[in-house]
Amino acid sequence: MAARPAGAVAAPPPEELGALHADVLAWYAREARDLPWREPGASAWGVLVSEVMLQQTPVARVLPVWRAWLRRWPTPADLAAAPAGDAVRAWGRLGYPRRALRLHAAAAALVERHGGRVPSDHAVLLALPGVGAYTAAAVAVFAHGGRHAVVDTNVRRVHARLVSGAAQPAPALSAAETALAEALLPEDDATAARWGVAVMELGALVCTARAPGCAACPVADRCAWLRAGAPPAAGPTRRTQRWEGTDRQARGRLLAVLRAADGPVADVDLAVAWPDEAQRSRCLASLLDDGLVVPAAGAAYALPR
């Protein structure tokens, strides 16, 4: 009997676990959204693109950008052949534009190291730019049917409530949580893959952060949090960072100007977008450092080639 990590919660016994799987999978079969990257014809590349776009970004905002992206760059080689700046422009207002740059770099790596294909091995995926533990698992599972625990914010919230009895997951992902997610995984690959997407969907549609729809939950009768009387979140609340006047806002404004322009933008035009000279300089320096912006001739800046 292997010891569980500190703070770990035991997975249900086999019979209960089987019933839990059945209930969630039946709900998913009934209620799952039709999303283009879930269609049978979707490519592994399409899945990878969707996962990167969905990092911290709502589905509704991703949909139109994903469609345009896949139409323009249907394979990794297509994107790798384009200038990185085109990827940043096509990213539009999805936010966190470094993701566009990393996706472009990932496409180049796929062409150089993997014959232009999206690998199925978790460790190989993890080595790609912009691909962390979650995205590597998601691609291995959703694109290739592998058996891995897919642990995103939705899954963490479902597990916190359903199994651990807490209103919210801990601020950071722990080894105990990963171990729990693995212990909950169905045995065979195909079922495990559907389980992963089904739990995510349950978290996204029913077991939501605010105002969870417990009345519509297929496993409400098994929920440790409901059984405990749905206690409110314990512990200190994350203090939210202000937005007005931050470097993030400044970077966003500067990059928006560059995205909107066909070519290089003069420094004086960037100054209109962000008049504070010290902060503008600092943010331009960080954008250059990130590779999101490159210097151009004559006190100007541009998106990268």
Q: Confirm or reject binding of residue 198 to DNA (CB under 7 A).
A: no
Residues of span 115-154 touching DNA by CB under 7 A: 129-136, 138, 152-154
Spatial CA neighbour of 117 closest among 48, 62, 64? 48
Of the listed pieces 74-82, 111-119, 215-223, 247-255, which binds DNA according to CB under 7 A? 247-255
Q: Assess whether 277 carries a catalytic annotation.
A: no
Number of residues that bind DNA (CB under 7 A): 58
Q: Kindly state whether residue 230 participates in binding DNA, applying the rule CB under 7 A.
A: no
Determine the Cα angle at 185 with ends 181 and 186, to 5°.
165
Distance of closest approach, residue 73 Cβ to DNA, in angstroms:
19
Contact 161, 176 (CB under 8 A): no
Contact 107, 76 (CB under 8 A): yes
Of positions 171, 263, 275, 298, contacts DNA by CB under 7 A: 171
- In the chain the first and final C-alpha atoms are separated, in Å, by 56
Q: Is 94 in the site for DNA (CB under 7 A)?
A: yes
Strand order in the sheet with 294-296: 265-266, 300-302, 294-296
Residue 58 binds DNA, judged by CB under 7 A: yes
> Does 69 participate in binding DNA (rule CB under 7 A)?
no
Determine, following the binding rule CB under 7 A, whether residue 161 of this chain makes contact with DNA.
no
Residue 248 interacts with DNA (CB under 7 A)? yes
Residue 89 interacting with DNA (CB under 7 A): no
Residue 100 or 223: which CB sits closer to DNA?
Answer: 100
Binding segment for DNA (CB under 7 A), chosen from 77-85, 158-166, 187-195, 240-248, is: 240-248
* Cβ-based burial of 92 (10 A; exposed 0-12, middle 13-18, buried ≥19): middle
CA torsion through residues 279, 284, 290, 292, sign? positive
CB of 133 to DNA, least distance (A): 5
Separation CA 152–CA 173 (nearest Å): 9
How big is the CA angle at 201 (ends 160 and 95), to the nearest 5 degrees? 95
The answer to the question of residue 82 lying near DNA (CB under 7 A) is no
CB of 101 to DNA, least distance (A): 10
Q: What contacts 131, CB < 8 A, 6 or more positions away?
A: 48, 52, 106, 125, 139
Stretch that binds DNA, among 77-85, 206-214, 218-226, 261-269 (CB under 7 A): 206-214
Q: Phi and psi at residue 301, in whole multiples of 5°?
A: -135, 155
CA triplet 12, 15, 21: central angle to 5 degrees?
75
User: Binding to DNA by residue 93, rule CB under 7 A?
Assistant: yes
Contact status: 246 vs DNA (CB under 7 A):
yes
> Is the dihedral angle over the CA atoms 190, 191, 193, 197 positive or is it negative?
positive
Comparison of 73 and 152: residue with beta carbon closer to DNA = 152
Catalytic residue among 31, 51, 201, 277: 51
Chosen residue from 113, 208, 272, 281 binding DNA by CB under 7 A = 208
Joined tokens for residue 58: 């709502």
Give the interface with DNA as residue ranges (CB under 7 A). 35, 37-38, 50-51, 54-59, 61, 93-98, 102, 129-136, 138, 152-154, 157, 171-172, 200-201, 203-204, 208-211, 237-241, 243, 246-249, 251-253, 255-256, 286
Residues annotated catalytic, as ranges = 51
